[in-house]
Every structure is written in C-alpha cells, then in structure tokens.
C-alpha cells in the first residue's frame, strides 16, 4: 500500500504538471491497462521500489535506455545501440549482497537488541560513553534487514530487465535506475543529508517531487511530516521525523558556517570528515530509535536517559548559526554564475570555438540556477 500510494500520487502530479505546462513528462495519457500495470506489476508489488511512470513504460515498450544512453560528453554511446546489456552479473552481485546482509542480520541482531537501550539496569549501570557505543552497534545491526529487502527488490527488477541506467564513463552498464540504497555511502556518511540521500532513494525522490518542490513554506518540515504520515500511525514514526527536522536544520547550519574553515588543507578536511562521520552516525542512531521502538513510552524514556541532549544541542546550533534562506542562496549563486558564463561566451566567440557541447553545458548550468 505504501508503494502504490507513491505511484498513484506520482502519476497524479505528473499529469497535473502537464496540464499546467510546468513539465512535459507524458507523451500521452496512460490507458487503464498501462495505469494498472504500472501500479500492480509483479516485480514491485510487494517491496517496490517506486519508479517513474515514463521509465516503466519505456521498459514495457522495449526502449528502456534510448533516453539514457548518452555519455558524459554528450555523445551517443554506440555500444548501447548495438547491444541489450545483460543484467546477469549485476543480479548475481546483488543476490550475494542480499545473502551477506541476511546472514549478518540473523547472526548479530539478537546480540545487540535495540530494546536494551531503554533497559533500566543498562541505563543505571552503564557509563554514558558505553551507552553511546552500544547505541551505534544496536542500530547498525538493524540496517542489514533493509539492505536485504531493498537489494532483493532491485535484483528482481533487474532480472526482468528493468533498471538499466545507461553506461558509465568506462562503458560499463549501470543497473541503478531504481536502486533504493548505496550501502557504503550510508555507512560512511559524513552528514545527515548524505545519509538521507543514499537511504530509501526512491522514496526520497518521491518526497522531493510531490512535497519539497511544491511546498511554498517550511519545505523541510513539511517533507518530514509527510514522510511520517506515509509510514503509518505509530507515534514512534512522528518522534523520529520531528527529531529529523531539528537535526537537519542544525546540520545545515554547521555545514554553511563551519565547514569552510576546514577546506584549507587535506589534513583539516580529513579531521572534519572524521568528526562529522562520528556525529552523523550518532545523530542518525539517536533519531531512529523511536522508529524501531514505535511506542511513545519507551521512546521518551530513551530520550530522557540522554537528557534530550541532541535535541537541545541542535536547537541551539540552528538558532546560533545563521543560514540564509534558500531563495537568497540561489540568487547569489545565480549572480555568481552569470558573469562567468558571459565572459566565457565572449571569449569563445572571439576565438570561434563555441561548440555544441559547450552550448549544452552552458544551458544546463543556466537551467539549474533558473536563469533561462
């Protein structure tokens, strides 16, 4: 039901955008058969992942990569036109990942249960630093079950031939069009945003399309609240996503105000990455405990045992460190990009080497910052 909700609302907003001439995504209105096929196809009916309607129909019609076979230099990859890439290697790799994830989850999940974080004896007798370490380990052991389910769902779609995303710079096929996670990026994330960008990727894209890009005010808060409602009615979901709002605002403030001071040398950058990795992992674990516990009582008990320290610290950081509104940041970026593009254009015209590839890059940058 959660996946079908994503698909129905995605199609609805895409059709809405076509009628208002905001985006031209549909070549034609879907027929009843195409609509039900997109929502209820056997590959994604149980665990998804959600995909674009256009990508799905292109796959059904046998042209899944015609709009995705351009290399980074804007040239058509001849290999993609001559051969249908085989998913066998990628499916085997993803099934191996599923096996390892399931093995890790079944072998260690009972060693570090999340419920122990709210055990009275554990809280009373364990030093705080040990509680922090145990929190990280207990939440680390819960992630492999998500790795298993989402990677298996991705492998099922790939085995059917769905999920091809063109070729990389080395000419190797990419099967990550509907991938839902990037495990190494999750475990090595150095910011809250990087973690969220690599976790439940297709849901993040859906939330961005239907909420973040459309909400005129408080986009971050609205997106987190919609995510909580989409997950269900358990109070733990709302505690997690409300906490996520505060941590996201604090992380954004720190990144804008502190990170520039550590970019002067590789050593400083490495120190910053280590510190932010540890802070991100602890913040994520602290945030998602209610998501696992689900109930209000145990969740608040856990936060009280930590004296709500991360909530308080994040609120203070968000207040103390100023962050310019998004529209002002975009305006500054736009004004910074425009002169450089104009100077580049004049220079190239004087030399007579303004190529089509450079034109496409220029237009892409202008589109990103809303100049055109």
* Domain layout of the chain by residue ranges: 182-334
> What residue ranges of the chain have pLDDT lower than 50?
67, 69-74, 76-82, 350-372
Q: What pLDDT, on the 0 to 100 scale, is given for residue 18?
A: 81
Give Cα 154 to chain centroid, integer Å: 15
Q: What pLDDT, on the 0 to 100 scale, is given for residue 337?
A: 57
Q: What pLDDT, on the 0 to 100 scale, is given for residue 83?
A: 59
Q: What pLDDT, on the 0 to 100 scale, is given for residue 217?
A: 86
Q: What pLDDT, on the 0 to 100 scale, is given for residue 363?
A: 40
Question: Is 231 a known active-site residue?
Answer: yes
Contact 224, 241 (CB under 8 A): yes
Write the DSSP symbol of residue 167.
Answer: B
Question: Is 354 a known active-site residue?
Answer: no
Q: At what angle do helices 296-305 and 266-293 cross, to 10 degrees?
A: 140
Q: What pLDDT, on the 0 to 100 scale, is given for residue 152?
A: 96
Q: Where are the beta strands (DSSP E) in 235-309?
A: none
**What residues contact 83, with CB distance under 8 A and at least 6 apart?**
none
Residue ranges of alpha helices (H) inside 211-234 are 219-231
CA 139/CA 123 separation, integer angstroms: 17
CA distances from 66 to 6, 55, 113 (A): 25, 10, 48
Active-site entry in 205, 231, 256, 354: 231
Q: At 132, which helix (H) or strand (E)? A: helix 128-140
Q: What pLDDT, on the 0 to 100 scale, is given for residue 364?
A: 40
Active-site entry in 39, 117, 200, 311: 200
């Amino acid at each position: 039901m959660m996946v079908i909700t994503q698909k129905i609302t995605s199609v609805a907003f895409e059709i809405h955008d076509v009628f208002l001439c905001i985006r031209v995504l549909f070549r034609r209105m879907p027929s009843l058969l195409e609509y039900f096929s997109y929502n209820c196809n056997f590959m994604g009916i149980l665990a998804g992942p959600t995909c674009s309607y256009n990508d799905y129909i292109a796959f059904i019609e046998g042209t899944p990569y015609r709009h995705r076979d351009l290399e980074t230099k804007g040239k058509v990859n001849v290999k993609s036109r001559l051969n249908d890439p085989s998913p066998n290697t990628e499916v085997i790799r993803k099934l191996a990942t599923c096996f390892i994830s399931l093995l890790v989850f079944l072998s260690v999940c009972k060693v570090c249960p999340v419920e122990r974080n709210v055990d009275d004896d554990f809280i009373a007798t364990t030093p705080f630093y040990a509680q922090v370490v145990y929190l990280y380990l207990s939440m680390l052991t819960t992630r492999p079950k998500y790795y298993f389910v989402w990677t298996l769902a991705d492998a099922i779609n790939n085995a059917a031939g769905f999920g091809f995303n063109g070729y990389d710079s080395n000419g190797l096929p990419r099967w990550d069009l509907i991938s839902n996670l990037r495990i190494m990026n999750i475990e090595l994330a150095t910011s809250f945003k990087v973690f969220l960008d690599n976790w439940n990727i297709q849901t993040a894209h859906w939330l961005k399309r239907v909420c973040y890009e459309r909400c005129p005010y408080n986009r971050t808060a609205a997106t987190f609240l919609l995510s909580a409602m989409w997950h269900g009615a358990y109070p733990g979901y709302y505690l997690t996503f409300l906490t996520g709002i505060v941590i996201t605002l604090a992380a954004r403030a720190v990144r804008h105000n502190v990170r520039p001071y550590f970019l002067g040398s590789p050593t400083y950058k490495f120190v910053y990455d280590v510190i932010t990795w540890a802070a991100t992992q602890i913040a994520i674990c602290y945030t998602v405990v209610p998501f696992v516990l689900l109930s209000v009582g145990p969740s608040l008990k856990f936060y009280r045992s930590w004296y709500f320290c991360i909530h308080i610290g994040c609120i203070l950081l968000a207040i103390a460190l100023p962050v310019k509104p998004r529209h002002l940041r975009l305006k500054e970026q736009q004004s910074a990009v425009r002169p450089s593009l104009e100077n580049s254009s004049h220079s190239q015209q004087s030399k007579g080497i303004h190529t089509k590839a450079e034109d496409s890059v220029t237009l892409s940058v202008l589109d990103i910052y809303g100049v055109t």
